[in-house]
Structure 1
């Protein structure tokens, strides 16, 4: 049985499945070659569809880059925040800050190239707030900053850039030292813990977060990455 041919026939009857296959392939190419190196023809070949079908879904390379960036953003959103329906209207006081930090660091460590390209694409866009993940992250910090859980005077936009840049560039630094593939979980945890420590003594009122404070106190010294 020709599995690829069967898959192509199934997708031909399901335009949404075809679109998903193209976006999956575009993610792979985007991570490897960046936005400038993305080719609709190569993406179509990788997705197992003909070029004409790819052009029916995405008329230009620029549209494919935008759609892929948006798709990655939704993957990020669900990995970090969860179900969009449950996130809307969620009180700040009920957010598990430590778990959110772990999820974001873990996703970044598992998808380093894709996250880095997503970040640079969004930062360079005229309106980063049009991106669903960026908007939710910034708005969550805005909601937090408006409560008595936060220290006064937080520059929420600057803090968003700092946290995202650190989270999505940490895997690049870690992998350059050679052992990130074997220690992804530990490295993501190490970064998340440091973010929590900085937040506890920078933006958050530590007395309101006893569990996070206890975790930071128990962390102790972090083992260095090989090659340091």
Structure 2
């Protein structure tokens, strides 16, 4: 019986995933400057023609990679987007959500910073799924009786996300082992929750600041 050579069945979706994973690794390692279609194709073990079939330009590849990271972070922090409509902000476990975000940032600090910089520099950050849900959640929370008056959801989102992705840099998380990273995550989560719950200043000790905030809130 004549032997027949079987052609490998192509899976475009799997190939695209492989290319995006390679682009993500290059972004994390070398930043935006290190990403090119040829370098990504080499790392993904596909030819450049295949890479160009999926992403016509370097810019489209970077845009798709940022969206890919956003989706992974979304699923890690919020869960399946398909079930998101069932979530009420009043029922969210704030501690658990903060833990999940901190853990993702500690394990993916480089790509998280690239994602944040790209999203904040974009003309419309609300086009990003994770930013839209994170800032939107804070905005919805701010409108409930669970929140103190006067929260600026956009400012708070930038403060929180910048903190969570730059803390691993300061803490030298790349040189830490698993146990040390776990402790660094715990420290960050504790401080963010403490600030959210109690703040850092006593209103009685700083009446002038309290008055200013009261006036600002009245203007809003």
Q: Under TM normalisation by the shorter chain, which class is it?
A: 0.7 to 0.9
- Residue equivalent to 1:222: none
What is the distance in 2 between the residues matched to 1:100 and 1:71?
A: 20
What is the distance in 2 between the residues matched to 1:81 and 1:70?
A: 16
CA RMSD of aligned residues (A): 1.8
More moved, 171-180 vs 24-33: 171-180
Contact 2:173 2:181 in 1 (8 A): no
1:158 aligned to 2:155? yes
1:123 aligned to 2:107? no
What is the distance in 1 between the residues matched to 2:98 and 2:173?
A: 23
1:56 aligned to 2:17? no
- Residue equivalent to 1:143: 140
Report 1:1-16 matches (<5 A). 9-10=8-9, 13-16=10-13
- Residue equivalent to 2:43: 46
What is the distance in 2 between the residues matched to 1:180 and 1:153?
A: 40
Report 1:105-116 matches (<5 A). 105-116=102-113
Q: 2:75 aligns with which of 61, 74, 78?
A: 78
What is the distance in 1 between the residues matched to 2:106 and 2:89?
A: 26
Contact 2:106 2:173 in 1 (8 A): no
- CA apart distance, 1:9: 3.5
The change in CA–CA distance for 1:175 and 1:131 in structure 2 (over 3 A counts) is same
What is the distance in 2 between the residues matched to 1:45 and 1:179?
A: 30
1:34 aligned to 2:38? no
TM-score, length of structure 2 as denominator length: 0.84
The change in CA–CA distance for 1:24 and 1:164 in structure 2 (over 3 A counts) is same
- Residue equivalent to 1:188: 185
Where structure 2 has 5 or more consecutive residues not aligned to the other structure, the ranges are 1-5, 200-220
The change in CA–CA distance for 1:37 and 1:177 in structure 2 (over 3 A counts) is closer
TM-score, length of structure 1 as denominator length: 0.81
Where structure 1 has 5 or more consecutive residues not aligned to the other structure, the ranges are 1-5, 203-228
What is the distance in 2 between the residues matched to 1:135 and 1:180?
A: 33
Q: 2:131 aligns with which of 130, 134, 137?
A: 134
